[in-house]
Structure 1
Amino acid sequence: MSKLTLTEQSPGHFTVEGSLTFASIDKQTLQSFKFLKGMDAICIDLAKVKTTDSAGLALMIEWIRLSRMGRVNLSFKNIPSQLLALAKLSGFDETEYFANHTH
């Protein structure tokens, strides 16, 4: 299992590194949602995600939900193909968060 880390590279730009899986997402990850507060726009780069499963998609959906509640413009870049496939299965590939990443 690869630990999940969320690092702010510059104001509003974050990198996720490690695994987005049931085994790596825990209470500490959920507490990391504080990064969504107090900003107008946030971009999350997923290029360093090694593995993912449906928990990773659930985490992304929770970030989307919280960003909408806080009126934060949230975007993702470098979404792994595993997450794109899961998003397609659940219909989330039709949302603006995934639409720019699918073919």
Structure 2
Amino acid sequence: MPSGDQKRARADIQRLDTRSYGVSGPMTFDTVTELWRQSEHMFEDNTVLEIDLAQVTRTDSAGLSLLVEWMRGASRQSGRVEFLNLPDQMLALARVSNVEHLLAGKRSEQLS
């Protein structure tokens, strides 16, 4: 894929219900700033937040960092985040980066 197409890649967060959101598109250096902006309101009214990653098409270390930041954001509000359908690429990055323990309990069956 040409780099121009990658720059136009769009990531989006959609509300699925009162405490669930879905992420679609790439979670990469090119998109995480926009995803963070879209997500800032998610932590306001939720003690338990579910984020479904089934529609994530590509990820890199910036995407993994965003997951960690979402966990921190929820913690600041005395809440927690549960990630659903973590992409294999995200799990592999977590293992290589030695941060898979941060995702433990989020989808532990995927981490074993």
Shared fold, TM over 0.5: yes
Backbone CA RMSD of aligned residues:
1.4
Structure 2 spans left out of the alignment, 5+ residues: 1-5
After TM superposition, give the deviation of residue 98 of structure 1 in Å.
Answer: 5.0
Deviation readout 1:11-65 (Å, 9 max, x if unpaired): 1011000000001122x32222221111121100000000000000000000011
Identity %: 28
Q: Is the 8 A contact 2:27 2:63 kept in 1?
A: yes
Count of matched residue positions in the alignment of Structure 1 and Structure 2? 102
What is the TM-score of this pair, normalised by structure 1?
0.89
Select the structure that is richer in strand: 1
> Residue 97 of structure 1: SS of its match in structure 2?
coil
Q: Give the equivalent residue in structure 2 for 1:50.
A: 57
Amino acid at match of 1:67: A
Please list every run of at least 4 consecutive aligned residues from structure 1 whose deviation after the TM superposition is greater than 4 angstroms.
Answer: none
Higher radius of gyration, 1 or 2: 2
Of 85, 94, 104, 1:87 maps to: 94
